Amino acid sequence: MSLVSELRAQEERLLACVHCGFCLPACPTFTRLGDEADSPRGRLYLMRAVAEGRLDPAQDAFQIHIDRCLGCRACETVCPSGVEYGFLLERARREAMAARRPGPVARLMLAVFRRPRLLRLAMALSRLLRATGLPRLLAWPGRPLVGGTQLQFALAMLAASAAPRRRWEGAGSATGGARSRRGGGPRVALLDGCVQAGLFARVNEATARVLAVNGCEVTGAPGQVCCGALHAHAGDLEAARALARANIEAFETSGAELVAVNAAGCGAAMKEYSHLLADDASWGERAARFSARVKDATELLAELDPVRGGALPVRATCDAPCHLFHAQRIQTAPLAVLRAIPELELVALANADECCGGAGVYGLTHAELGRRILDDKVEAVRATGAAVVATGNPGCILQIGAGLLLAGLPVQVRHPVELLDQSYARAGYYAAGGEAGA
């Protein structure tokens, strides 16, 4: 289905925008560029122009401004009319992709993430490079690098994915097992994820342990694949639908009551499988049932009222991933997880709900604008005096971690569940043998 027919079929969604302007101060691109075409209502106007045949989607007027959107969906949170901007943006990008090929970086990423073997190879090579220590060395602030700032930033992102070198005193230890502190919890299947499994396996391991402590029976889901978020956001909806069908089948086979996701972008995409496959007669109802079972890991823990751990005396601040705060509307759950950690000093982060500039591969494909947005996030972190930033999305960890590294700030970026896992290790909930979250 083309953008024209998609929009005509969803006319109410598009026409819900009353051009009130409430979205303008919430939009990171508009506040930096000041161009109405780089605001949500401006982009909606461009979509209408294409749908009505007044604008060719191959023209720069459409391509540039639709591509420049971060897709953070902050506009949805403040919109009084309930415009489903994320839904419309994905369909607009489908039309943009049909009219003009995406750039080489986007094409490469989409191809790799759709092919599990190629993705595993890419992640293995990335881990090998990370283990050499070269990314951190070459990304050091002020070090000139052949290939320019974009290559240096990519290396800084890879360096930011490494397990922290410095651990807080008395962190405790853990093995892969955990002693449940309560019974009767749900059977939960954990999404492995692509970047999460490839670069942040420690987060998946920590999530499994923490859920087990809180009474959940954690199981796997063989056959699961990429969630399709990158493909949907880029406009490759058919690829996203194929991946969604594979995941629904895999998690149904697992027999789990719930699906726990510790990557905000993945969780948002999977909760929206019901929209993605709504017009598929064979999969629509299955997708709706599946989406209703998806929970962010912090969302699930907050509902369970997390068991308190051991003291972790460190100053921390919490950044809100866009696809957790705005897309999933989960705003307090990460804070509830962090408050289960005794002696953790939690300080507020200014504009915590504003995008960090990562947005998938945005930090690489729109390096200058992404860096401007990131610099503001880094300065906000600096102002807190925190030793650690907690954020629940691997892309945010990479983006913010790279920014802090390049700014020369010795601040760790961790998933909230990692910190709770470390707290549980200090409380002695794990058998001795290895480090929690390592």
Q: Look-up: residue for tokens 């989960």?
A: 330
Residue 173 has pLDDT above 90, yes or no: no
- For the segment 387-408, what is each residue's pLDDT rounded down to a tens digit? 999 999 999 999 999 999 999 9
Q: Which of 125-134, 182-191, 240-249 has the lowest mean pLDDT?
A: 182-191
Residue 414, CA distances (Å) to 53, 68, 207, 347, 383 in order = 47, 28, 13, 15, 18
Residue 177 has pLDDT above 80, yes or no: no
Which residues contact residue 285 at a Cβ distance below 8 angstroms, ignoring those fewer than 6 apart?
Answer: none
- For the segment 38-73, what is each residue's pLDDT rounded down to a tens digit? 999 999 999 988 888 888 889 999 999 999 999 999
Rounded to the nearest 5 percent, the helix, strand and coil shares of the chain are: 55, 5, 40
Average pLDDT over the chain reads: 88
Q: Which domains does the chain have, with CATH numbers?
A: 3-99 (1.10.1060.10), 158-170+307-426 (3.40.50.1860)
Mean pLDDT of 305-312: 95
What is d(CA 423, CA 384) in angstroms, rounded to the nearest whole number? 22
Q: Which of 175-189, 260-274, 404-418 has the lowest mean pLDDT?
A: 175-189
Based on C-alpha coordinates, what's the Rg of the chain? 21
What is d(CA 121, CA 315) in angstroms, rounded to the nearest whole number? 37
Report pLDDT for 4: 56
What is d(CA 325, CA 8) in angstroms, rounded to the nearest whole number? 29
Of the candidates 73, 69, 80, 62, the one whose C-alpha atom is nearest the C-alpha of residue 21 is 80
What is d(CA 139, CA 152) in angstroms, rounded to the nearest whole number? 5
Greatest distance between any 2 Cα atoms in the chain: 67
- pLDDT bin (cut points 50, 70, 90) of residue 131 is very high
What is d(CA 269, CA 267) in angstroms, rounded to the nearest whole number? 5
